[in-house]
Amino acid sequence: MLGWLARVVTRWAWAVVGIWVALVTALVLLAPALSSVVSSDSGGFLPADKESVVASKLAARAFPAESGAPAVMVFARRDGQPLQDGDIERVDQTVEALNGLKVNRVKGIATGEDAVARNRSVQLASVLLSGTSDDQAVKDAVARLRAESANRLTGTSLRVGMTGDAAISLDYDTAFVDAEEILTYVTGGLVVLLLLIVFRGVLATLLPIVVVGAVYVASSAAVALLASELHFKVGSFLPPLMLVVLFGIGTDYILFVLFRVRERLQLGDDPRTAVRRATHHVAEVIASAALAVVGAFLALALSDLTLLSTLGPAVAVGVVIMMLAGLTLVPAVLSLVGSAVFWPSRSGRRHRAVTEPRTARAVVRRPVWTVVVSALVLAASAWGALGYQPNFNFLDDVPRNSESNRAYQDLKSGFPAGALSPTYVYLENTGAAVEPEVVDRVAESARKVSGVSGLMEPQVSADGHVIRLPVLLAHDPSSRAALDDVEHRLRPTVTGQAPPGVRVLVGGETMTGVDIRATVADDLRTVLPLAALVIGLILVLLLRGVVAPLFLMVAVTLNFLGALGLTVVGFQNLLGEPGLMFLLPVLINLFVVAIGTDYNILVVARIREELRAGLPVRGAVVRAMTEAGPSALAAAAILAASFASLLLAGVGMLVQIGFAVAIGIALTVFAMALGLVPALVALLGRWTFWPAMRGRSAADVRPVSGSEKGAEDTDDAGDANDTRKRLEVRG
Q: Which pLDDT score is estimated for 16? A: 94
Backbone φ and ψ of 162, nearest 5°: -120, 130
Distances from the Cα of 209 to the Cα of 19, 25, 247, 254, 255, angstroms: 19, 18, 8, 10, 12
Closest CA to 27 of 244, 309, 203, 224: 224
pLDDT band at 693 (very low <50, low <70, confident <90, very high): low
pLDDT for 217 equals 92
Average pLDDT (93-114) is 93
SS3 state at 289: helix
For residue 563, pLDDT over 90 is answered with yes
Among 119-123, 430-434, 485-489, 568-572, the least confident range: 430-434
Kindly give, in sequence order, each residue whose CB lies less than 8 Å from that of residue 149, ignoring residues fewer than 6 positions away: 73, 94, 98, 160, 162
| pLDDT band (50, 70, 90) for residue 354 | very low
Band of residue 697 on the pLDDT scale cut at 50, 70, 90: very low
Neighbours of 389 (CB within 10 A): 12
| DSSP-assigned letter for residue 38 | E
pLDDT at 24: 93
Of 333, 327, 256, 255, the closest CA to residue 6 belongs to 327
pLDDT tens digits along 143-153: 999 999 999 99
Q: How confident is the model at residue 303 (pLDDT cuts 50, 70, 90)?
A: confident
Are 504 and 442 in contact by the 8 Å Cβ rule? The answer is: yes
For residue 666, give the nearest of 631, 630, 641 by alpha carbon.
641
381 contacts 667 by C-beta, under 8 angstroms: yes
Q: What is the pLDDT of residues 439-456, one digit of tens each?
A: 999 999 999 999 999 898
pLDDT in tens, 510-548: 999 899 889 888 888 888 888 888 888 888 887 778 888
The torsion region of residue 340 among left (phi > 0), alpha (psi -120 to 50) and beta comes to alpha
Query: For 220-225, what is the mean pLDDT?
Result: 91
Beta bridge partners of 22: none
Q: What pLDDT sits at residue 372?
A: 92
Q: How far apart are CA 348 and CA 350, in angstroms?
A: 6
CA dist 725 and 731 (Å) reads: 10
pLDDT-based confidence at residue 324 (cuts at 50, 70, 90): very high
In this prediction, residue 710 carries a pLDDT of: 43
Report the relative pairing of strands 580-581 and 390-391 from DSSP bridges: parallel
Q: Which domains does the chain have, with CATH numbers?
A: 1-52+201-344 (1.20.1640.10), 64-170 (3.30.70.1430), 366-401+522-694 (1.20.1640.10), 422-507 (3.30.70.100)
Q: Is 696's pLDDT higher than 80?
A: no
- Predicted confidence band at 166 (pLDDT cuts at 50, 70, 90)? confident
Q: Is 33 helix (H, G, I), strand (E, B) or coil?
A: coil
- Greater confidence (408 vs 350) lies with 408
Q: How confident is the model at residue 382 (pLDDT cuts 50, 70, 90)?
A: very high
DSSP state of 340: G
pLDDT at 706 over 50: no
State residue 34's pLDDT score.
83
